[in-house]
Copies of this chain bind each other. A is one copy, B any other.
């Protein structure tokens, strides 16, 4: 994942922006938690361990920057926080999004890769004349672990 950082640096320079410690640290925080979907506050706490002087405003500003540069993706679970994750593709070709599986019990977010939505997109395009360029899929349910525990709890009753 080092090339993501390189890419960031290049993009910054290309746009006449500066490569600062804070910006790199924020990207690193997101890279170190590839499975997590961090809130701004969580990123802030994360970076603060290494750099206690960083301000929350900087985190927000950098997040916005990273979003504009397509290096990270927003994720809204509807809990009042916007979450962020490292984007899956380095370039800006049509995104092959993964889907999010959100456990209603433990709150964990799993990801799932799949192309099965292509069919649906084609269908929408043909029947409704709507050209799909991106999509966002969230599945709510119960993860393997929680289901096992539910079964266990039932048995011990």
Contact = CB atoms under 8 A, between A and B. Distances in A.
A112 B126 CA distance: 12
Given A76-B78, A112-B124, A137-B136, A131 B147 contact: yes
A133 B137 contact: no
Interface in A123-150: 123-124, 128-144, 147
Q: Contact size class for A? A: 35 or more
Contact of A129 (B119, B120, B121, B144): B144
A120 B137 CA distance: 11
B140 A136 contact: yes
Contacts of A116: 116, 119-120, 123
A114 interface: yes
A110 interface: yes
A117 interface: yes
16 contacts: A76-B78, A101-B128, A101-B132, A114-B120, A114-B123, A116-B120, A128-B144, A129-B144, A129-B147, A130-B142, A131-B147, A135-B138, A135-B139, A136-B137, A136-B138, A137-B138
Interface of A: 74, 76, 78, 99, 101, 103-104, 110, 112, 114, 116-117, 119-121, 123-124, 128-144, 147
